[in-house]
Amino acid sequence: MKHLIKRLFLPLISLCLLGTNTPVIADDYLFVKGIGENEKEAISDAREQLALQVYSQVEVAERNTQVKLNDVVESSYAFESSVKSLPVQIGLMQVINKECDNLGCEYQYKVNKTQWINALEHEVAANHVLIRDFLTVNDNQLWSSLLRIKHAQEKLQQTKMWLKVLGSLSGNTSSPLLSDQSELTQLSYELEKRIPVEIRSSADLLSVQAAETLSQLLEATGKGKLIVYIKSKQKQGHKNNKYMAKLALTFQVFEANNPGVVVGQKTLTEIGDSPQSVEHAIRHARQKLMIQIKNNSIYSLLHKG
C-alpha cells in the first residue's frame, strides 16, 4: 500500500518542483526514486521523475463550453494542464536502496551530475561538428543539399533539447556550445533560403488544391531552383454498402537547371468511404490528404515511411 500511495503523490511532488526546475541535488549527485513491479519498471519511472525535475514545461489550455437548454444558456470553464518533459539521456543510474513488498518495489538511484554534464557536452559538441558538415550547398545537387540541410535542422532540434538539460544541470547560460548552436541554426536557415522551391501541378482539382496548400506552407513565390510537380489519380467503387474512393497524390521533384530528371518522388494515398455517395467518399479522402500535407513539410512528406 505504501508504494501505491507514493505512486499517487510522486506526480504532485514533481509538479511542485517545476517552479524552480531544480532536481534533488546533494553535492555532486542527483537522487531520484522509481516505483514498479520490477527493476525495469522502476528505472523507467525514475527516468521520468528525473526528467520532470530537471526540465519540464507546463501547458495550460482553457476550454469554454456553452449549452442552451430551454432558452437558458449555461457556460462552463475548465483548465486542462499537461506536463511535457525532455527525453533525458542517462548513462548510468546507481541503485543505492531498494524496498519491496507485495505491491511492488521502490528503488532509489543516484546519478553523478558532473559525469552527466560532461557526457551531454561531449554529445552536443560531436553533433555540432556533424551538423556543420551537413550545412553546405552544391549548386549541381540542390535537392541533395536541401535534404542535408533539413537533416541538420533535425539534429539541431535534438541538441537544443540537450542544451536545455545542460542549462538546468549546470546553470551556465553563456556556454560556447550555446553560441555554436545559435550560429549553426542561423546558417541552416540562410542556406535553406538559397534554395527556393516552386510548386506546380496538373489541372485537376485535387492537385491544384494540394499545390495551393503546399505553396502557402512553403511561402513559395515565382521561380524556384527546385520544382515540385503534383499530380493525382482517383479510383472509386462500392464495397459493403459503402461508396469508396481511393485518391493518390504524387510529388515529383526536379532541379530547374536539369528539368528532365526526377531527383525525388513520393506518392501519398488515402481511402475515403461514405454510405451517402461517391462524392462524399472523394471528399473524405481529399480531407485526409490535405491533413497530411498541412501536418508535414515537403521534406517530411517525401521521406515518411
DSSP 87: P
Only one residue has cell 459493403, namely: 240
At 32, list the grid cell. Answer: 531520484
**What average pLDDT does this structure show over 101-128?**
90
d(CA 177, CA 181): 6
pLDDT digits (tens, 9 = 90+) for 242-269: 999 999 999 999 999 888 999 999 999 9
pLDDT digits (tens, 9 = 90+) for 161-183: 899 989 888 887 778 999 999 99
Tell me, yes or no, whether 287 and 230 share the same domain: yes
- The parent domain of residue 129 ranges over 114-193
Tell me, yes or no, whether 121 and 211 share the same domain: no
Tell me, yes or no, whether 7 and 106 share the same domain: yes
How would you classify residue 40: left for phi > 0, otherwise alpha for psi between -120 and 50, otherwise beta? Answer: alpha
Q: Which of 112, 129, 161 is the last residue of a domain?
A: 112
C-beta separation of 23 from 53 below 8 A: yes
Count of structural domains within the chain: 3
Tell me, yes or no, whether 135 and 97 share the same domain: no
pLDDT digits (tens, 9 = 90+) for 17-46: 333 334 455 568 889 999 998 888 888 888
DSSP 70: T
d(CA 23, CA 303): 39
Could you tell me the sign of the dihedral formed by the alpha carbons of 90, 30, 7, 61, in that order? negative
Q: Which of 129, 163, 193 is the last residue of a domain?
A: 193
* Diameter of the chain measured on Cα atoms: 71
Q: Which of 112, 129, 155 is the last residue of a domain?
A: 112
Q: What is the dihedral of CA 181, 185, 188, 194, to 10 degrees?
A: -140
Tell me, yes or no, whether 209 and 290 share the same domain: yes
Tell me, yes or no, whether 84 and 147 share the same domain: no
Higher pLDDT, 220 or 181: 181
Prediction pTM value: 0.73
C-beta separation of 145 from 152 below 8 A: no
Closest CA to 16 of 58, 60, 44, 59: 58
Q: How much is the pLDDT for 57?
A: 63
Only one residue has cell 509538479, namely: 15
What stretches of the chain show up as alpha helix (H) in DSSP?
2-17, 39-54, 113-134, 142-170, 176-193, 205-218, 278-294, 298-301
Tell me, yes or no, whether 89 and 25 share the same domain: yes
**What average pLDDT does this structure show over 63-89?**
59
Tell me, yes or no, whether 96 and 27 share the same domain: yes
